[in-house]
């Protein structure tokens, strides 16, 4: 393919310096007649042939054909199609040249990779953001146009928009970008936009990362924005670690009342391992300010190690469907796979329930998984699985038990049910398979079961390089990457006489 060339201003030198740890594919050349202008050249990787059968290639999780991905962004449901945009490097397997990759699905599980949707320009890299359906043509791009809102990462991070009139396949950048300028803040990114019927306008929330806060703006037309307020949680020390990124804001029913939920992804301070994760806050919104109800924050969307940048789809009615980047910033650069690098979690449906006086954000794997699910059968020690599977294990909370997944190579993934403390403990130590980062093996990954019942039903979603565990009602969710020699296809249970069942999950490729 021919190189794609963009002309940048002084920002180009900054972009070049950002790639020291990334793929060496950016070349900056001073243009004598252009003064400060320079040339940024992105050379897409040659397309490879693949049957999506490489070692550790997920069979039920989205991965690109090749190259690096990270945060999901721009997710929107339109005209029967689920759009998944994501941070993407068109040129290699390391972070760099941030663009918006694109995939579409009719059912949230079978994904078709599309051409790259947004590429860098004179304002910088295309960082994370969101997308909406402008049903009433408020922006003037056409009724039903898809409008992407993203961060341009250059000398400063600024918010920009682009629009699509062909169903999200191609975008035109707005000539008036940036729509929110910035010359004073460092981390100033990842806008999530939503329409409010209550207040009759668009709202945008995005993170001021190092300042541990988020700004809320409003607009009538997606082009002109007014600052409403800044949300911060200075009194909650545990919330002020790492860098805030990828904020989201949406409503959920809680005990018959509409509540606003703000999620914040943080690069550090996670309870298990100290890496990255997703916090949430529950409160009220008056059209200007989000006010968090008084709970013991931080509250965490899940306590597994590998779910970051989790955000929700737009235009889904009363449903709140999210997906995350299945990785952790502690070791994301040491993902031992090729020719792709990283995957997404399974999509989850969110809801709020009360547990011990606290609003619990439940995560249930989206029911659309039925489109790839086979028939249930009793699970034996030899599971007889090739691609991926769902294992269901009803467990009594009267005594401890240990559930171990393994394979013929001797790799083992151990899960202990600590009945006394009503928690799950995952051992992702050196026995689970290969790993290349010292932060990867952790033997004591804990999560509360969040139940007062006498029994809990554990759901294991097992792929070639991951295990996602939920309870049947979503009161617990824990995602972990693993790199066994082959998929875990053996089951051993100690401590209780249980009746597990299993079903095949057919590959999505």
Positions marked active-site: 71
Retrieve residue 239's tokens: 């919330």
331, 351 in Cβ contact below 8 A?
A: no
Which parts of 268-342 are beta strand (E)? 277-285, 290-292, 299-300, 308-312, 321-325, 340-341
Strands 145-153 and 157-164: antiparallel
Cis amide prior to 178 (ω within 30 degrees)? yes
Distance in angstroms (rounded) separating the CA atoms of residues 304 and 284: 28
Q: Of the candidates 467, 477, 473, which has an alpha carbon nearest to the alpha carbon of residue 388? A: 467
55 Cβ contact list (under 8 Å, min separation 6): 337, 464
Cis amide prior to 298 (ω within 30 degrees)? yes
Which parts of 379-422 are beta strand (E)? 389-396, 401-406, 412-418
CA distances from 292 to 140, 247, 486 (A): 35, 14, 45
243, 268 in Cβ contact below 8 A?
A: yes
- Token pair 């997944």 is found at 405
CA 263 to chain centre: 12
Q: Of the candidates 457, 440, 466, 482, which has an alpha carbon nearest to the alpha carbon of residue 403? A: 457
Distance in angstroms (rounded) separating the CA atoms of residues 318 and 265: 23
Cis amide prior to 339 (ω within 30 degrees)? yes
169, 114 in Cβ contact below 8 A?
A: yes
Distance in angstroms (rounded) separating the CA atoms of residues 191 and 210: 16
**Three-state secondary-structure class, residue 368:** helix
């Amino acid at each position: 393919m021919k190189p794609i060339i963009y002309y940048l201003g002084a920002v180009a030198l900054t972009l070049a310096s950002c790639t020291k740890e990334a793929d060496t594919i950016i070349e900056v050349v001073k243009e004598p007649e252009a003064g400060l202008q320079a040339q940024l050249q992105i050379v897409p990787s040659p397309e490879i042939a693949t049957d999506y059968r490489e070692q550790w290639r997920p069979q039920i999780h989205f991965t690109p054909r090749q190259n690096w991905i990270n945060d999901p962004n721009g997710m929107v449901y339109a005209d029967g199609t689920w759009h998944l945009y994501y941070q993407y490097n068109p040129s290699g397997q390391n972070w760099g040249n941030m663009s918006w990759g694109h995939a579409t699905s009719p059912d949230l599980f079978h994904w078709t990779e599309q051409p790259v949707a947004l590429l860098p320009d004179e304002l910088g890299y295309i960082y994370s953001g969101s997308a909406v359906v402008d049903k009433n043509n408020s922006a003037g791009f056409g009724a039903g146009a898809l409008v992407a809102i993203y961060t341009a990462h250059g000398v400063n991070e600024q918010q920009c928009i682009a629009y699509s009139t062909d169903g999200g396949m191609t975008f035109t950048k707005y000539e008036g970008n940036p729509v929110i300028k910035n010359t004073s803040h460092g981390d100033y990114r990842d806008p999530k936009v939503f329409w409010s019927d209550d207040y009759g306008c668009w709202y945008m929330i995005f993170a001021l990362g190092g300042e541990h806060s988020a700004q809320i703006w409003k607009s009538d037309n997606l082009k002109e924005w007014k600052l409403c307020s800044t949300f911060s949680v200075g009194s909650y020390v545990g919330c002020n670690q790492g860098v805030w990124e990828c904020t989201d804001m949406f409503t959920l029913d809680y005990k018959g009342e509409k509540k606003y939920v703000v999620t914040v992804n943080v690069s550090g301070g996670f309870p298990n391992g100290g890496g990255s994760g997703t916090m949430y806050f529950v409160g009220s919104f008056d059209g200007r300010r989000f006010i968090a109800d008084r709970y013991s924050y931080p509250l965490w969307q899940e306590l597994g190690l590998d779910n970051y940048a989790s955000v929700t789809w737009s235009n889904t009615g009363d449903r709140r469907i999210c997906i995350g980047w299945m990785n952790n910033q502690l070791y994301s650069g040491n993902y031992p796979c090729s020719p792709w690098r990283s995957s997404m979690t399974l999509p989850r449906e969110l809801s709020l329930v009360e547990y011990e006086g606290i609003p619990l954000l439940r995560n249930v794997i989206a029911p659309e998984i039925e489109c790839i699910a086979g028939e249930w059968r009793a699970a034996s020690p030899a599971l007889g699985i090739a691609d991926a599977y769902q294992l269901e294990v009803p467990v009594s909370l009267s005594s401890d038990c240990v559930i171990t997944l393994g394979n013929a190579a001797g790799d083992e993934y151990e899960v202990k049910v600590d009945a006394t403390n009503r928690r799950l403990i995952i051992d992702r130590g050196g026995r689970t398979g290969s790993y290349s980062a010292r932060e990867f093996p952790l033997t004591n990954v804990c999560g509360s079961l969040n139940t007062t019942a006498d029994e809990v039903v554990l759901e294991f979603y097992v792929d070639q390089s991951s295990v996602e565990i939920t309870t049947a009602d979503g009161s617990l969710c824990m995602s972990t990457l693993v790199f066994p020699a082959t998929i875990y296809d053996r089951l051993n249970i100690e401590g209780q006489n249980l009746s597990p069942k299993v079903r095949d999950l057919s590959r999505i490729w």
